[in-house]
């Protein structure tokens, strides 16, 4: 029902609003040799852009090209997870300094900029999309989430969809749909709270339901196959929660220590067996086994599944849809590092990308 209502609303309200044809950005090369793609965001003050990499069968990356978003970035980290999102052949990016979001079409020969629209607030830092319904997290001023409908050539704001976060919100970090699309989840670092919003008819979110985090400074999060919420806590731990249809969270695993400083980002494998935190303060990744009930157990006693070295400052990460590789945006080294994921959750390095601009944020795979 959720999907059909969203599509009905899209057809009635948005059909006439979708704008003019897009302009094609310069195409890349090496298209015939890739098995997938990795995208990241420069976040540059001189003009934000998506950097695209071809992914080979062995996990190695080859830079394909850079594609402007039509907005501007801050030139520094946003303290968030999810600055990029992908839905089929469309890529969405935040422009934190120009208070806008961009839609780019994914083509075999590169990316095409389709539209740039105001984000519904200030300083957009995280974005999520499902079935053409998109929500963006705005962290500036009165922090909010705002909804949009994504069409073939344009993104249109969902009228009256803006929802403020919980009172006293400080430092929101990520917004994401749950796997079933029935709820949105937002982490708030400064207040150590997690907000949930039920998504109702025509894609409208309800008011925030506020939950105290079981670990301090909840930051990045992901979901396992059963919809459990897996959260990295920057104070040094990871937690998991069950989320019911009413939007209420219940703790499964409390604050499980990583043994590594500042685990700020977290991704899970598509099969729901493993999750990995990126530990910015330690220069490491920590792997966790995920049980059927959503409970978390460290894979290594010292919490180190991969190490990048001192001052490497690993940030955003992504697991490919086939579950074979994980990629980390390693801020201190200005590269993307890749790893093959073993059947036991162990990580084997596949190499690094070409150098990226300082301040690069966000990462998605296609």
Say if residues 64 and 30 touch (Cβ distance below 8 Å): yes
Helix (H) / strand (E) containing 364: strand 361-365
d(CA 48, CA 98): 10
The pLDDT value recorded for residue 10 is 41
Asked if the structure places residue 250 within a domain, the reply is yes
Query: What's the CATH code of the domain at 311?
Result: 2.130.10.10
d(CA 216, CA 193): 9
- What's the pLDDT tens digit per position in 160-204? 999 999 887 779 999 999 999 999 999 999 999 999 999 998 999
d(CA 279, CA 256): 14
360 CB-contact burial (10 Å; exposed 0-12 / middle 13-18 / buried 19+): buried
Q: Give the residue numbers spanning the domain of 272.
A: 214-358+361-365
The pLDDT value recorded for residue 28 is 37
Asked if the structure places residue 92 within a domain, the reply is no
Asked if the structure places residue 10 within a domain, the reply is no
Asked if the structure places residue 106 within a domain, the reply is no
The pLDDT value recorded for residue 153 is 82
The pLDDT value recorded for residue 170 is 78
d(CA 100, CA 292): 39
- The shares of helix, strand and coil residues in the chain, as percent rounded to the nearest 5, are 5, 50, 45
Asked if the structure places residue 308 within a domain, the reply is yes
* End-to-end CA gap in the chain: 27
The pLDDT value recorded for residue 188 is 96
- CA-to-CA dists, residue 169 to 165, 219, 365, angstroms: 6, 13, 31
Angle at 210 between CA 208 and CA 216, to 5 degrees: 135
Asked if the structure places residue 47 within a domain, the reply is no
Nearby residues of 355 by Cβ (< 8 Å), 6 or more positions away = 334, 335
Asked if the structure places residue 270 within a domain, the reply is yes
d(CA 333, CA 173): 23
Q: How many domains does the chain have?
A: 1
* 218 DSSP β-pair partners: 233
Q: If you ran DSSP here, which 8-state letter would residue 63 be given? A: E
Which residues of the chain are modeled with pLDDT < 70?
A: 1-33
In three-state secondary structure terms, 231 is strand
Residue with tokens 């795979």, as numbered in its chain: 365
d(CA 88, CA 130): 10
The pLDDT value recorded for residue 33 is 63
Q: Which of 216, 214, 212 is nearest to 235 (CA)?
A: 216
d(CA 220, CA 232): 6
256 CB-contact burial (10 Å; exposed 0-12 / middle 13-18 / buried 19+): buried
Asked if the structure places residue 245 within a domain, the reply is yes
């Amino acid at each position: 029902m959720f999907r059909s209502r969203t599509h009905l609303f899209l057809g009635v309200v948005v059909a006439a609003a979708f704008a003019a044809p897009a302009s094609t950005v310069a195409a890349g090369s090496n298209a015939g040799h890739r098995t997938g793609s990795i995208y990241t965001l420069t976040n540059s003050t001189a003009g934000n852009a998506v950097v695209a990499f071809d992914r080979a069968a062995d996990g190695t990356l080859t830079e394909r090209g850079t594609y402007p978003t039509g907005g501007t970035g801050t030139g520094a980290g946003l303290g968030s997870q999810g600055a990029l999102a992908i839905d089929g052949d469309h890529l969405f990016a935040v422009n934190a300094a120009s208070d806008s979001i961009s839609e780019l079409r994914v083509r075999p020969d590169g990316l095409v900029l389709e539209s740039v629209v105001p984000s519904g607030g200030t300083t957009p830092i995280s974005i999520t999309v499902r079935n053409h319904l998109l929500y963006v997290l705005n962290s500036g001023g009165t922090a909010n989430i705002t909804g949009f409908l994504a069409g073939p050539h344009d993104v249109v704001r969902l009228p009256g969809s803006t929802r403020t976060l919980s009172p006293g919100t400080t430092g929101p970090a990520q917004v994401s749909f749950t796997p079933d699309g029935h709820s949105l989840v937002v982490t708030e670092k400064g207040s150590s709270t997690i907000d949930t919003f039920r998504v109702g008819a025509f894609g409208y979110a309800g008011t925030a339901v506020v939950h105290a985090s079981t670990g301090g400074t909840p930051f990045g999060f992901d979901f396992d196959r059963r919809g459990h919420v897996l959260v990295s806590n920057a104070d040094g731990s990871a937690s998991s929660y069950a989320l019911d249809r009413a939007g209420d969270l219940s703790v499964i695993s409390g604050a499980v220590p990583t043994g590594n400083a500042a685990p700020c980002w977290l991704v899970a494998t598509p099969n729901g067996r493993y999750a990995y935190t990126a530990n910015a303060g330690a220069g490491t990744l920590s792997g966790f086994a995920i049980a059927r009930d959503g409970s978390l157990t460290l894979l290594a006693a010292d919490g180190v599944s991969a190490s990048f070295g001192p001052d490497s400052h690993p940030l955003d990460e992504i697991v490919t849809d086939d579950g074979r590789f994980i990629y980390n945006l390693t801020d201190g080294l200005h590269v993307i590092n890749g790893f093959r994921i073993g059947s036991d959750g162990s990580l084997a390095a596949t190499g690094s990308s070409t150098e990226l601009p300082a301040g690069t944020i966000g990462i998605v795979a296609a």
